[in-house]
Amino acid sequence: MTIIKAPATPAAPGAVPDAEVSTHLDNVIPALESLRSQAGRLSGWGTELAVRLLAGQRLLAAGNGGSAAEAQHLTAELVGRFDAERAPFSAISLHAETSALTAVSNDYGYEEVFARQVRAHGRAGDVLILLSTSGRSPNLLKAVRAANEGGIATWALTGPGPNPLSEACEEAVTIDAIAANAQEGHLIAVHAVCRAFDAEVARRSGALPGTARWVRP
């Protein structure tokens, strides 16, 4: 006897994508809660960064893929502005230096692309911030070692910890969320650091951020 199966009932239009989007948005909440529990560290980073950059030090930043974009977002906020008008500060995204990146990669291997630039640009007292959702990128780990050799402070912004990068750096903010949501959390963290940075620069210059033109004292 031949058994004829009834055709499967198709899902309502948009039902599967809608469910996936809802799940994705729900997963933002753990990332935000993880960041909120580390608000003090983010504030401390912004304040410390203001002290160092006001003293003439610089920020170096790096990441791979989407993390590179987030690192570049941070440096752009410092060279440009976050909210109110203020003086520009020295901040370099190492992955955005394309000729150096490809030359070093070609001559020394991709694992050395950031370490060599840290040795070239970094000075004692500078800050190196590294972004990675996995915390396992070999080129970032080598950059930490190069920074340690040069007396450069090392901060990590990663996904769930502990991980090799968070353990290698002096300080770390780890976001307990899946990779995509952790990376979204990195943008929130970047803006939080910038908020604290601007507030400290404004305090030291005697102006209120967002209400007056304030520049480096």
Residues 174, 156: Cα–Cα separation, whole Å: 8
Amino acid identity, position 42: L
Decide if 60 contacts 90 (C-beta within 8 A): no
Q: In whole numbers, what is the pLDDT of the chain averaged over residues?
A: 91
* Stronger pLDDT, 215 or 85, i.e. the higher one: 85
Q: Give the model's confidence band at 211: pLDDT under 50 very low, under 70 low, under 90 confident, else very high.
A: very low
Of 11-15, 87-91, 99-103, 204-208, the least confident: 11-15
Q: Which residues contact 137 (CB under 8 A, 6 or more apart)?
A: 64, 165
Residue 15's pLDDT band (cuts 50, 70, 90): confident
The pair phi, psi for residue 178, each rounded to 5°, is: -65, 165
DSSP conformational letter for 154: E
Q: What is the pLDDT of residues 109-136, one digit of tens each?
A: 999 999 999 999 999 999 999 999 999 9
Please say if the pLDDT value at position 99 is more than 50. Answer: yes
What's the rounded mean pLDDT across residues 7-32?
81
Q: At 215, which amino acid appears?
A: V
What confidence score (pLDDT) does residue 205 get?
Answer: 86
pLDDT digits (tens, 9 = 90+) for 155-187: 999 999 999 999 999 999 999 999 999 999 999
Cα separation of 57 and 148, whole Å?
16
The pTM of the whole model exceeds 0.85: yes
Assign 80 to helix, strand or coil.
coil
Which domains are assigned to the chain? Answer: 32-205 (3.40.50.10490)
Residue 138: the pLDDT is 98
What would the 3-class secondary structure string for 10-47 be? CCCCCHHHHHHHHHHHHCHHHHHHHHHCCHHHHHHHHH
Predicted pLDDT at 213: 44
Mean pLDDT of the region 213-217? 49
